[in-house]
Amino acid sequence: MTAIRNTMLALGMLLFLPACAPTQEGPGADDAAPEVAPEAAEWTLYRSPSHGYALWYPSTWIPDDTGAEGPPLRIESPDWEAVFIVSSLGDQRLAEQGGLDAVLADIRAGFDQDARYSLEGYEEQREENGTFAGMYIARGGFTDDGTEYRFKEIGDLLRDGRIFVSTAHVRSSSTARYGEILDEMIGGFDALGVGGEKPAMAVE
């Protein structure tokens, strides 16, 4: 499955599109007080104690794995402009003959039927053997309360019925700042919990 992710990265499927609009500076920016030097960020390895997956995230981002208000894991950027979400789902059809096709068809139909999303790219991959049955990758945009966002989503489908969905949302005006970081996070997600190598790119 890592090979499939790397192939998609090489093809550019995981790249966020350019920001729709530049970030605007607020009034009086030149008169602001001197900034305090921000905390240096580094990549931190997270392992889910309940679901077993692993991923890397910037140490200055804010993880919440309580699941109190939604998915089991949310990792927010310090300014709340971007979020990385992991949802742990299940569908026992994946363990049945032909079940993968049925599950993927339902997932694609869900995107097509949800008017909030503008789907700009969608790919599916199937594994012939091994722990993974297949995966899908979707990307596009959506609008929430008048604000435009970019999204990227990868679903890892395992033969034992487990489904891990890793999703990245970023405000369109912040895509240039957070797009590459989110690509590293979503591309390096490991459903089996190995974790892989620490990302090489520097983080703020």
Mean pLDDT by 10 residues, the chain (204 residues): 55 48 40 50 91 94 80 91 94 92 94 88 88 94 91 95 95 94 92 86 80
| Res 130: pLDDT | 85
Name the residue ranges covered by the structural domains of the chain. Answer: 2-17+46-187
| Res 3: pLDDT | 57
| Res 8: pLDDT | 55
Please name the residue ranges forming H helices in the chain.
Answer: 2-11, 99-113, 175-187
| Res 20: pLDDT | 39
| Res 45: pLDDT | 95
Using DSSP's 3-state secondary structure scheme, residue 172 falls into helix
Tell me which fold the domain 2-17+46-187 belongs to.
Protein Transport Mog1p; Chain A (3.40.1000)
| Res 19: pLDDT | 39
| Res 68: pLDDT | 63
Q: What is the pTM of this model?
A: 0.80
**Do residues 59 and 41 make contact, with C-beta atoms less than 8 angstroms apart?**
yes
Sign of the C-alpha dihedral, residues 174, 177, 179, 181?
A: negative
